[in-house]
Every structure is written in structure tokens, then in C-alpha cells.
Amino acid sequence: VEPRMATDIQAWLPEEYVPDPREKMNLYKSLADARTLERVEEIAAEMADRFGKHPDPVRHLLGLRRIRVLGAQQRLEKLTVRQDLVQLDLGRDLKKSELQRFMAAIPFQVEFVMGGQTRIRRRSPGPGESVSTALILLRGLEQARKGG
């Protein structure tokens, strides 16, 4: 089950990048159906081969899909990826050992809200930064849960 996601980041397939509406709908469907990072990467590579370098809205679209896939793998309840904030709602508290491994795995400070359901928060200065911050946090959480 995929986590709910809230975002204000501009993420879409621009008409000048994918002019054919049917092709565009097929790509959106392929992305929505992608359940693994490998599949998202295949779609990203296919788009680059067919349409050229990804413009910002496409990079953001692909990044948000990666975030949602990783969030589902970590069984998160909700992801907030806004231009000014990234927040992961875990739906449970982290164990002390997980928390220590998580903090060791990420290269910046975050804010925690604990008490039955951990929330991890980081302020972010813009859309590209928010997407990369969320991916770093999710990979850190994955390392923390795996034990290393």
C-alpha cells in the first residue's frame, strides 16, 4: 500500500517534452504502475532516450514517484514533500537502535516528533532540494530498519 502524499511541487510532463497526448497518458500510467525503483529508472531512461534531457517538472515527477515507491517499501503512512518542508509520517515510533542508525546515515539535522507515531521533519529551500532531501531521509530510514 502506498503512503498518502502531499506536495506543492510542480511535477508533470510538459507538452513541449511529450507532445502526443496518448503517449503522455501512457507514460503517466506507466509511472503510476511502477512499484520498484528499478522500474522507475527504466521509465526515466526510456523518456530520456525518446524525448531528451528531462526538464525540471519531469525530474520532479520522477523524483516524487521514487519517493512514493520508497515510502511504500518502508510502510510509511504519509509523505509531505513541499517546497519548504519534507515530512515523513512513520505510523510508529522508531526504536532507539533504529534512531541511532538513522541519525548516523543522514548528512544533516532533522526534527523528530515522537509519541506513538514518529514524524521526521526537515525544512527545505526549494522543490529540487525537497525531492533530494526526501530521498536521503528514506534511504537513511531503510538503512536504520535493516540494521546497518
The secondary element (H helix, E strand) that includes residue 126 is none
Distances (CA, A) of 39 to 35, 94, 131, 146: 7, 29, 18, 22
Report how far residue 106's alpha carbon sits from residue 99's, in angstroms, rounded to the nearest whole number.
11
User: Looking up cell 511502477, which residue turns up?
Assistant: 34
> Kindly report the CA angle at 83 between 64 and 60, in degrees rounded to 5?
30
Q: For the chain, where are the E strands, in sequence order?
A: 4-7, 78-81, 85-89, 111-113, 119-123
Per-residue pLDDT reduced to its tens digit, 131-141:
999 999 999 99
3-state SS, residue 81: strand
CB 96 within 8 A of CB 58: no
Which pLDDT does position 117 carry in this prediction?
84
Q: Region of 80 please: left (phi>0), alpha (psi -120 to 50) or beta.
A: beta
Alpha-carbon gap, residue 13 to 25, rounded angstroms: 9
pLDDT at 128: 82
At residue 148, the pLDDT reads 56
- The pLDDT assigned to 38 comes to 98
Under-50 pLDDT residues of the chain:
none
**pTM reported for the whole predicted model:** 0.94
Give the pLDDT of residue 46: 98
